[in-house]
Structure 1
């Protein structure tokens, strides 16, 4: 949860958007105008300049052509410098294994409610390689985290009570090996491989049809 909230680049300022926070080390290129949520957006590619020798991001951001708001960003840590950030992703390395990150990708999107934009969806996909001592081949494994905001309200907003708050640094993890669609019948459930945002949209449509 903490990582998802930290990836809110509007609140915490992406360095590829903030003046004085490294923006001079990036190069930008307008590549297209595409449709996003039925509105036109600029697609802008960015990457670190050749003379920047520290790990930085590269990817694409999508900016509304009307109000110039950031609606989505898809980016990754430059693979050429990923080894320098090994300690940021592997906190307790094993003596018998050598493990390193090979790909770190993020996606963040925002949704307009009224005249303001709110965090809508966050996802991170990380891939690692690991080699055990005296073994010839490496093992590859992946991990992802994801958060979707299902609703937001701007009226009569009050703070949550302490007992209603989830600890930001707790890890919610579960390995799902298989599932039985017959067991769930016509009830809504999330398949492990299903796109979270699309699944939630489908559930919302079905709930609206049910209430009519």
Structure 2
């Protein structure tokens, strides 16, 4: 049977589009001062051409404190002052990792150059698989031994942004707790809210408001090693075609690169790449897409409501997930979803394009020693709409020592412009 978009993802990645106006005042961004941590900012670039490196991973060694760079290669890393003489590890797929003393980050500006890995990996003896499908089967088979088997409580940073054309028009952010179930369990993960904020109520700027249902559950749902049947069925991979790309490397790990493509193409279908550790057969990273050339079927999957007189359909659906390692076990580290929609208005010559990004980065975690998780009002519903259903957007002094992803320069510019427009109306 063909693998269509899983019911779990289908319930999450749904957009609401409707006509509305609002007069809510913007919430302002402020960074509180704390004596408990020191914030270090900088940029990670390609040493050869100075190109910014997106999603480079920075972690404080011998701790669970970490962050990732934004699309401009910029980062903000908050290190507890109780940690002295520590080193920061900086890594990115296809680049040589670096370990830098904390003192390195005290200079200004902080620019970290990573060199591309030029090793001829296809000659490394450790790559002995010749059948990519057999490798994927082994990857799925070993998930219980390669990933966390403890319940963990993770601190995460979530960002949800919406861009109309080239302009960023909406930004919501939150610090959350991810109540992660063991990878050998079928129990669902839960998310509770610590605090959230948004820059403004952008509904006022246009008659069309686009809203994403699911919030931080969207990128968390990409954890295909926790829920492999969302895409792959371990017992039957015949729905996919697999092939090898040249291998690559991250840190000291050699990785197979496996292309996959769903065979049945009547409905939206998956294709992408799996990056699998050559020694343990662990999935380290996956980037994949959903082909949405079938507009009617894709609209039914993603669009819940829309204004009369419009046609709304997705034209691009991209996913990205990265796993992190601790003491030989792997866990969810970063998830990113990106969707682009076209809105055609009746009697209008030009259409509108909206791009929706949601990303969730784990910035700290600990083993959950409690016998069970007691849910309260802070726990989010899987159909949550962050702007509508979540309180706390007016609390502006809460970021504290939580690590966040540095806002893109384009987002910061959009925030200032929208504030000025709202203040002048």
* Structure ranking higher in helix proportion: 1
For the residues of structure 2 that align with 1:13 and 1:134, how far apart are their CA atoms?
Answer: 45
For the residues of structure 1 that align with 2:328 and 2:339, how far apart are their CA atoms?
Answer: 34
Determine the structure 2 residue equivalent to 1:18.
233
Determine the structure 2 residue equivalent to 1:35.
249
For the residues of structure 1 that align with 2:271 and 2:365, how far apart are their CA atoms?
Answer: 30
1:88 is aligned to 2:301? yes
- Give, in angstroms, the shift of residue 3 of structure 1: 2.1
Question: What is the DSSP-based 3-state SS (H/G/I as helix, E as strand, rest coil) of the residue aligned with 2:219?
Answer: helix
- Give, in angstroms, the shift of residue 162 of structure 1: 2.4
Q: TM-score, normalised by structure 2?
A: 0.39
1:78 is aligned to 2:295? no
1:125 is aligned to 2:357? no
Q: TM-score, normalised by structure 1?
A: 0.74
- Higher relative contact order at CA 8 Å, sep ≥6: structure 1 or structure 2? 2
Determine the structure 1 residue equivalent to 2:218.
3
8 Å contact 2:292–2:314 — kept in the other structure?
no
Larger radius of gyration: 2
Map Cα deviations across residues 45-104 of structure 1 (whole Å, 9 max, x no partner). 11122x543322101110000100111110000233454121221100211221110000
Determine the structure 2 residue equivalent to 1:205.
none
For the residues of structure 2 that align with 1:65 and 1:157, how far apart are their CA atoms?
Answer: 35
8 Å contact 2:274–2:286 — kept in the other structure?
yes
Greater mean alpha carbon deviation, residues 98-107 or residues 160-169: 160-169
Number of corresponding residues: 179
* Structure 1 unaligned residues grouped into runs of 5+: 175-187, 195-212
Map Cα deviations across residues 108-142 of structure 1 (whole Å, 9 max, x no partner). 11111223211110000000111111001111110
For the residues of structure 2 that align with 1:117 and 1:191, how far apart are their CA atoms?
Answer: 25
* Structure 2 unaligned residues grouped into runs of 5+: 1-215, 389-402, 410-425
8 Å contact 1:16–1:26 — kept in the other structure?
no
Determine the structure 2 residue equivalent to 1:47.
261
For the residues of structure 2 that align with 1:173 and 1:6, how far apart are their CA atoms?
Answer: 20
For the residues of structure 1 that align with 2:378 and 2:245, how far apart are their CA atoms?
Answer: 42
Determine the structure 1 residue equivalent to 2:348.
135
The CA RMSD measured in Å over matched residues stands at: 2.5
Pair 6,191 (structure 1): closer, same or farther in 2 beyond 3 Å: closer
